[in-house]
Structure 1
Amino acid sequence: MMVNTLLLIVGGFSTLPSIFARGDSCSSVLKPTIAADATAFATTIYDYIIVGGGTAGLALAARLTENSRITVGVIEAGIYHLGDPTLLTPELAIPGGQGNASYDWLFKTIPQPGANGRMISQPRGKMIGGSSGLNLLAWNRASQPEYDAWSIFSGSKSWSWAGLTEYFAKSQNIEQGQTNPFPGVSREQTDTSCTYGSANGPINVSYNVIYSDTVPTYVETWNKLGIETNGNPDSGSTTGIYNSRMSISRLEGIRSYSANGYFAQSCSRSNLHVLAGAEATKISLKKTSTKWTATGITYTVGSKVFAATASKEIILSAGTAKTPQLLELSGIGNSTLLKSIGIQPLIDLPQVGENLQEHVFTLVEFELNPGHQTFDALINNATFFAQQSSLYKTKHTGWLAANDGALSFLPLQVTASQAEQKALLAAFNDYVTSCNLTPIQRVQYELQREWLAKGRVPMTETIMMSRGLIAPQPGRSYLTLLTGVQHPLARGSIHINSSVPTASPVINGNYVGNDFDVQTLLQSVKFLLKLAKTPPLSEIVKTVAQPTATSDADLIEWIRNTVAVGDHILGTAAMATQEQGGVVDHNLIVYGTANLRIVDASIMPYTIAAHLQSTVYAIAEKAAALLLG
């Protein structure tokens, strides 16, 4: 109800701020309703064709076309939502465009036994900007050991913390001079954290300018339990509670994402064409000597079929769900699966669509004592909302330009007792020894066993939401804590089950299908219930609104009934050696091909304890460097 009300009013703004410098004058945007544009795209031979105009695709296209001699065509199934308040207003990021067919593919998993048979929504952006226009804006990195692990899979030290740091910096423009108000953070730490970024990247990144009055109390309570405030989480150590920067432009008070960042800076280039509203259906492949060469892409606009040609490379940036689908439709994947649905296998790569990983979350919600200012006030107080609406419209600031940024990333040693840690390790070992592991899983789980023992890598995340999310009652204020497993044992898959290109892929995450993942969530929920009973947080909490359960068995049932995903799917075209079962090599080229490359989250071999957008931008920046030499 809150989101619908906000959409109604904010959507009526006649002058919503926008950082599209060129707006509709962008000459590179080809409108899908004009058949001539689809034909023009098809009759142009590009150096590179990128499938997917999302987070990675637009970043890569922008960097490649900085060289005026390189021509790039981008095919995107969604459309261009210029100046759309549903996407741009930070307070509307929950749920924003999620669940709306105008912005979202509306994917769901098959029924998940671990989630009591529920089909779980798996939001994926379908628009110019992709999932960078759907996410909840958090901007962070994982810990150094997690990126260093990628070198074990890829066989290249360039895929590591040291090898990625410069590419993290290239994407971001950190707002300078801001103060981090979190207890336990010094001015020096705030200034130092800016050195891990850039002052001129396309994506604007900033701290919030508005905070609920519950935030200091919340942070101090974590500190009281021995969990320090991390003043510089982008330095390679993410453990602790910290104030995450958000992908928000403070000047305009709007979401900063690949469309109004990378694309806005490149869209008027004559060597870049973006065809919106066109769905790629097949990669054209030609056998040359021992490898296959990608020569073009077949795509549809409405009921019409077109084919475009690339002279150098085809690059898939369609995302973790769509990239494996397109590979399989083109004859690249598990040959047994492909034959079963009538597709002629060209390259047998059994791990295409496998290795799916995702963060899984549940939540606890507390009703607060009266008198606290949270985002609930926007729906509870009409006068306050009118004031904030005016402030946002005229000054581009206030509560509508804000979002929650308190994140906690913790190893199990912090949230679980010695006995609980022992039980979790036993659950881990029981699962690993009972499974018929693939080569890549053996490497993954050995790394995780080491991380569990040393406690250097976070295993859980907690996100503070200063608002009610589960049926909040009018006139009341809430604090909701989302908690999720960052390195779940569950491995899933995304595959086609039809040769019809427009059919949705079959997503099976196997979410909370093993005891380790369930018990990790349970221990985190119990820790958060303990947190709420600890002063000073206990002094502002009136009652536990959800869950009402207290026993472990009932809490586990709560977890199964509420578990959702973090919208961080990855790994379905993993960058790993062929011996491990990789799909792409360290240059991101699909095995068995000469020039088919993948640049999106599907190449990530192992999940990370972080929100993904800054890492996906870094992957795109690194890919551009590989191509440009």
Structure 2
Amino acid sequence: MAATIDDVKDKSFDYIICGGGTAGLTLGARLTEDPNTTVLVLEAGAANIGDMNILRPASYGSHFGKVEYSWNHETIKQVSTGNVTHSWQRGKGLGGSSAINFLCWIKPSAKEIDGNTIAEPLHGHILTRFIDFERLGNPGWNWNNYEKYIRRTERFTPPSEEVQRALNMNFDNWSLGTDGPLEIAYPSSIDEGELKVQQTLRNAGIPQAPRPMNGETAGTYFAPCTYDLKTHTRSYAATAFYLPNKDRPNFTVLVSAQVNRVIPSSDDDGESDFTAELVEFEYEGQVYTVHAKKEVILCAGALKTPQLLELSGIGNSTVLRKVGLPTKVDLPGVGRNVQEHVLVAVSFELKDDVKFETLDVLADPETLEKHLDLHSKGSGLFTTGIIGFSFATLSQISPKADEIIKAAEDKVMKNANNYPPGLLEQHKLLLDRLRNSAGCEFISFPGMCSRPNPPKQGKRYISFYVALNHPFTRGCIHAASKDPAVEPEMDPRYFAEEVDLLVWVEMVKFARSLRNISPLKEMTTEELNPGPGVRTDEEIAAWIKSVMTTTWHTAGSCSMLPQALGGVVDPELKVYGTDNLRVVDLSVVPLHFAAHTQSTAYAIAEQAADIIRGNFQPGEISAQL
């Protein structure tokens, strides 16, 4: 790394970015396109540049529990799941979670960004208004701008015509960016068995998605990955935004630097807005400060950004007093409105004569070595990816949809006067999504990834992740101590809203039914998990609670909402009650969407860069529209 502590301590920079993850590196690279702007990025993890444990695709979950790659966060014990904690792993090091995720490139539905679409004329264009975010008080956060900014990140390479024909792919009406720094592609090895799995889902009633990369995501499709076809390695924030720009003299990145808090200017009298002046951080056991000439920007993610705000004296005064922190900005929304995607997996055993190479074979050490060698030559299982996705409405997968929606609606209306500020508005939108949005996600995985029954030796499996994407339940994340080294208290409050479990049970029942549908029916022998002992809805619910895991998509802990509705940041991502403190990460998402979050983290950072540079207008329309 070019930066040393002597390059940073007691120095001044225009912008100090706290967190060198997906959003932080993207934002830093964009801001330093202006050679007259100086930027410092402080990242608590190591650089990990060139590490094949990160770069090698199809290494799913191998980083979890390893302190050099992952923050091993845990929730508090959840009463609803047997009084156990749940692991909330996050990327540690340059690139953050983009360095250890499962490489999926999934975008939200335009309907979930724009809600109930309303076309309005604007300067000769038709602007699709951004209802779900914009109705909640955020002008300019609309689907048109989402597409504009994500295209700046994307460098999409379509598969060869031969592969497109073999897998029935058609990109004629797709539109992705092709000039950005992040490599987006389909992995070089795609088993024909994937096509049969997708056909099964279509036969089960989930049609082909029309334009899944352009907002029309409802249906079944093959999704690309953050995959570099030239090197058969992971493309992520460090390779896309750091390495190409690391020699810029105005771009300083210091790793192993844990941010403790933001310190306001010495003349802050407690009556005027909080003016961020210094960032305090720890490096090799010593505490240092660095000066911000313009702004401090928190990019620590949905789990850590609320803690940083609270350690800086910004948050709910009751929470701050509890841990002995002075209140400098009383902002009750900090750490609230936490929303998290969750999943379970259903697995079926493949027949011995089925020609479908799955990741199960890597359990054999000799086979693993063989495929590690094949990867170096651009083939084998480490050149595969998770590409099969299906998004369905509740009514498409369950005959109980109307009953579940009616019960949820009755409860929301009954409790309307008891919700905290802003939550009733969100729940009304969620009820509409239950009726009309494709929030039930099914992800095909070539291998066994389920619990609790172990795989049989020598057998291969096909699994379906069953992912709940529209949770009604809201959790919270708060500092547990004024000591920055103490992890914040993370409480997702799983199943505080019963509708979440009811929907999930129906989704599991649908996933289990796939084994009775061709061509999967002819490929499999039996269900491994949940297994034949799990039959009734009550048994399925108990199984879900015993094996569920997060999808690592936490959002909402510093929501972009009006302050009166529990908001923490305004539409320019500036923290209420501050002059020059912003948040740029997934914590600002006010209402979660049915998609994996990687692409949205990049899009938020790209739009934030224009906002900070003064190049953004809320009504701006993409030139391609």
What is aligned with 2:118?
none
Distance 1:236 1:38, change over 3 A: same
Q: Distance in 1 between matches of 2:161 and 2:288?
A: 52
Match of 1:72 among 32, 39, 52: 39
Q: Distance in 2 between matches of 1:261 and 1:526?
A: 41
Distance 1:390 1:55, change over 3 A: same
Preserved contact between residue 144 and residue 236 of structure 1 (Cα < 8 Å): yes
Deviations 1:368-390 (Å, cap 9, x if unpaired)? Answer: 11133232353266665454333
Match of 1:302 among 277, 284, 299: 284
What is aligned with 2:529?
546
Preserved contact between residue 219 and residue 229 of structure 1 (Cα < 8 Å): no
Q: Distance in 1 between matches of 2:472 and 2:162?
A: 35
Q: Distance in 1 between matches of 2:85 and 2:149?
A: 37
**Aligned residue identity for 2:230:** L
Match of 1:396 among 361, 366, 378: 378
Match status 1:42 vs 2:9: yes
Q: Distance in 2 between matches of 1:587 and 1:313?
A: 13
What is aligned with 2:120?
none
1:479-628 alignment, distance < 5 Å: 479-548=462-531, 549-628=534-613
Match of 1:200 among 151, 174, 179: 179
Preserved contact between residue 206 and residue 390 of structure 2 (Cα < 8 Å): no
Q: Distance in 2 between matches of 1:472 and 1:386?
A: 21
Preserved contact between residue 408 and residue 431 of structure 2 (Cα < 8 Å): no
Preserved contact between residue 377 and residue 384 of structure 1 (Cα < 8 Å): no
The DSSP-based 3-state class of the residue aligned with 2:7 is helix
Distance 1:154 1:423, change over 3 A: closer
Preserved contact between residue 377 and residue 385 of structure 1 (Cα < 8 Å): no
Match of 2:211 among 232, 235, 256: 232
Q: Distance in 2 between matches of 1:166 and 1:88?
A: 28
The DSSP-based 3-state class of the residue aligned with 2:88 is coil
What is aligned with 1:285?
264
**Aligned residue identity for 1:263:** Y
Match of 1:338 among 317, 320, 330: 320
The DSSP-based 3-state class of the residue aligned with 1:190 is coil
**Aligned residue identity for 1:544:** E
Preserved contact between residue 250 and residue 397 of structure 1 (Cα < 8 Å): no
Match of 2:406 among 402, 408, 425: 425
Preserved contact between residue 311 and residue 482 of structure 2 (Cα < 8 Å): yes
1:580 CA drift (Å): 1.2
What is aligned with 2:96?
130
Match of 2:221 among 215, 229, 242: 242
Deviations 1:196-255 (Å, cap 9, x if unpaired)? Answer: x21121111111222234212211111112211225201211111111110111111111
Match of 1:190 among 171, 178, 186: 171
Q: Paired residues, what number?
A: 588
Q: Distance in 2 between matches of 1:421 and 1:561?
A: 27
What is aligned with 2:65?
99
Distance 1:306 1:180, change over 3 A: farther
Q: Distance in 2 between matches of 1:583 and 1:312?
A: 20
Deviations 1:481-529 (Å, cap 9, x if unpaired)? Answer: 1101110111001001211111001000012333211111110110111
The DSSP-based 3-state class of the residue aligned with 1:366 is strand
In structure 1, the gaps of 5 or more residues are: 1-25, 31-36
Identity of aligned residues (%): 32
Q: Distance in 2 between matches of 1:376 and 1:327?
A: 42
Preserved contact between residue 360 and residue 511 of structure 1 (Cα < 8 Å): no
Q: Distance in 1 between matches of 2:552 and 2:161?
A: 30
Preserved contact between residue 52 and residue 316 of structure 1 (Cα < 8 Å): yes
1:157 CA drift (Å): 3.2
Distance 1:514 1:156, change over 3 A: closer
Preserved contact between residue 394 and residue 401 of structure 2 (Cα < 8 Å): no
Q: Distance in 2 between matches of 1:370 and 1:381?
A: 17
The DSSP-based 3-state class of the residue aligned with 1:79 is coil
What is aligned with 1:7?
none
Preserved contact between residue 412 and residue 424 of structure 2 (Cα < 8 Å): no
Deviations 1:141-175 (Å, cap 9, x if unpaired)? Answer: 11112222354355343101012211010111101
Match status 1:262 vs 2:241: yes
* The 10-residue stretch of structure 1 (515-524 or 55-64) with the greater mean CA deviation from structure 2: 515-524
Preserved contact between residue 49 and residue 75 of structure 1 (Cα < 8 Å): yes
Deviations 1:37-80 (Å, cap 9, x if unpaired)? Answer: 22430232100000000000000000011111000001110000
What is aligned with 1:111?
77
**Aligned residue identity for 2:397:** T
What is aligned with 1:460?
440
The DSSP-based 3-state class of the residue aligned with 1:579 is helix
TM-score by length of 1: 0.90
What is aligned with 1:328?
310
TM-score by length of 2: 0.90
The DSSP-based 3-state class of the residue aligned with 1:544 is strand
In structure 2, the gaps of 5 or more residues are: 115-130, 615-625
Q: Distance in 2 between matches of 1:48 and 1:345?
A: 24
What is aligned with 1:141?
107
Q: Distance in 2 between matches of 1:428 and 1:557?
A: 24
Match status 1:477 vs 2:460: yes
Distance 1:180 1:324, change over 3 A: farther
1:616 CA drift (Å): 0.6
Match status 1:251 vs 2:230: yes
**Aligned residue identity for 1:467:** G
Q: Distance in 2 between matches of 1:269 and 1:389?
A: 35
**Aligned residue identity for 1:422:** E
Q: Distance in 1 between matches of 2:475 and 2:138?
A: 26
